[in-house]
Amino acid sequence: MSELSDGRSKQESLAGSAGVIESHPAYDVQAVRFRYQSKGSDAIRWILEDVSFCVQAGKVLGVVGPNGSGKTSLLKVLARLLRPVQGRIDLFGQELVAMAQQEVACIIGVVPQDSQQLFPFTVAETVLMGRFPHRSRGRWTSGFGWESREDVAIAEEAMMTVDIIHLAHRAVTDLSGGERQRVMIARALAQTPRVLLLDEPTAFLDLQHQVEICSVLVRLKEESRLTVVLVSHDLNLVSQYCDRILLLDRGRVVRLGRPEDVIEPEVLESVYRCRVLVDRHPGTGLPRVTLPGRSLSGGM
């Protein structure tokens, strides 16, 4: 335990022996409550209320829920971008809020929803910034210096993984939404994270790249025990690719479980307040959600 309490030594031991069975889950979230701080009014509703769940290392958790249910806030709390007002989050057995920002950045990669870029960094430069948390530390030297050969190799691999190596020299300001999204995923992969948090990773992607990104996530999960938490509106995608699904409604956990336990018509109808059809995916047998046709929606 004493060894595990030190993040770095733990990481090294992990990198040394792949496939080590960790004693801690990737995330252990206990009764987390969150609301935005604002002076004056006390009657602000909780964005997250008593959210508790656990994500085992090497698993994919999908977070779904209607608009305003707190999905993105939950992701930000998990990314340590927001501090929970109450409750506790453990990342591989360490309390998240007690960790240093850089330490967290070596473990968690975050893909934001859509980040409009203002400065014409090239795609390659942007992806290389994912190596920043792994730079040599030093108060006065961290601003200077170049990426190492290793950094460049990792960035190139990340770019190939999401199929953007041909865009390497393009400015991020000139990319389409889908291309930019893949750049952000590549940047997060270049962090060589153990946990990947994605906010609507497929929102701007065409079918080919949606399938590709999801397959990449599944492959990384299987091969390097990457833990993935992804927020998505796409219930079918979540159903097909996630090991477990967390259904949020107004900041509370409605259901948490395997896709077949969560994607149920009664549950979805009560949360989304509209009728849906759920059948089986012909290929995988996993639940598949379909919107009702014109004849069915009339009753709602």
Partner 1 sequence: MPSIRKCSVPVKVPVIHEDPLKQTPATVQSGSCAGGLPSVSRRVVPKSGIVAQGAILTSSRWMATVGVLALTAMAVSVICLHFGAQPIAYGEILRVLVDAVSRKEIDGGTSDVATTILLHVRLPRMLLGFLVGCSLATVGVALQALLRNPLADPYVLGVSSGAALGAAVGVLLGAGTTFLAEAALPAYGFAGGLLALVVVYRMAASYEQLPIHSLLLTGVILNAIFSALIMFITSILEPNRSYGMMAWLMGTLTAPTYGGLAGLAVYLSIGLFLLFSQMRVLNILALGEDSARTLGIDTEKAKRFIFVLTALVTGAVVSVSGMIGFIGMVVPHAVRLVTGADHRLLLPASALAGGTFLMGADTIARTLISPAEIPVGIITALSGGPFFVYLLLWRKDRLA
Min dist CB 146 to partner 1, Å, is 6
* Binding residue for partner 1, selected from 31, 153, 277, 296, defined by CB under 8 A: 153
Q: In this structure, what are the phi and psi dihedrals at residue 268, rounded to the nearest 5 degrees?
A: -65, -40
* Binding residue for partner 1, selected from 194, 232, 259, 263, defined by CB under 8 A: 194
For the record, the structure tokens of 4 come out as 């595990």
Cβ neighbours, 10 Å, residue 25: 18
Min dist CB 129 to partner 1, Å, is 6
- Return the range that interacts with partner 1 (CB under 8 A); candidates 24-32, 164-172, 253-261, 270-278: 164-172
Report the distance separating Cα 241 and Cα 252, nearest Å. Answer: 23
* Binding residue for partner 1, selected from 69, 73, 181, 191, defined by CB under 8 A: 191
- Return the range that interacts with partner 1 (CB under 8 A); candidates 189-197, 237-245, 246-254, 257-265: 189-197
Task: Kindly state whether residue 4 participates in binding partner 1, applying the rule CB under 8 A.
Answer: no
Report the distance separating Cα 27 and Cα 41, nearest Å. Answer: 32
| 54, 29 contact by CB (below 8 A) | yes
- Return the range that interacts with partner 1 (CB under 8 A); candidates 154-162, 237-245, 252-260, 287-295: 154-162
Min dist CB 255 to partner 1, Å, is 28
* Binding residue for partner 1, selected from 42, 144, 207, 293, defined by CB under 8 A: 144
- Return the range that interacts with partner 1 (CB under 8 A); candidates 62-70, 208-216, 249-257, 263-271: 208-216
Task: Kindly state whether residue 219 participates in binding partner 1, applying the rule CB under 8 A.
Answer: yes
Q: In this structure, what are the phi and psi dihedrals at residue 13, rounded to the nearest 5 degrees?
A: -65, -30
**DSSP state at residue 96:** G
* Binding residue for partner 1, selected from 95, 206, 222, 279, defined by CB under 8 A: 222
Task: Kindly state whether residue 290 participates in binding partner 1, applying the rule CB under 8 A.
Answer: no
Min dist CB 96 to partner 1, Å, is 13
Give the binding-site size for partner 1 (rule: CB under 8 A).
Answer: 85
* Binding residue for partner 1, selected from 223, 277, 284, 290, defined by CB under 8 A: 223
Pairing of strands 195-199, 60-64: unpaired
* SS3 (DSSP) at 149: helix
Q: Based on CB atoms, which residue is closest to partner 1, 95 or 223?
A: 223
Which residues lie closer than 8 Å to 171 by C-beta, 6 or more apart? Answer: 120, 121, 122, 123
Q: What is the footprint of partner 1 within residues 52-91 (CB under 8 A)?
A: 76, 79-81
Q: What is the footprint of partner 1 within residues 110-129 (CB under 8 A)?
A: 110, 112, 115-126, 128-129
CA distances from 58 to 35, 92, 243, 271 (A): 30, 12, 10, 29
Task: Kindly state whether residue 225 participates in binding partner 1, applying the rule CB under 8 A.
Answer: yes
Min dist CB 102 to partner 1, Å, is 4
Report the distance separating Cα 75 and Cα 65, nearest Å. Answer: 13
Task: Kindly state whether residue 257 participates in binding partner 1, applying the rule CB under 8 A.
Answer: no
Strands (E), the chain: 27-34, 48-55, 60-64, 86-91, 94-95, 108-111, 195-199, 227-231, 244-249, 252-257, 277-280, 287-290
Cβ neighbours, 10 Å, residue 163: 16
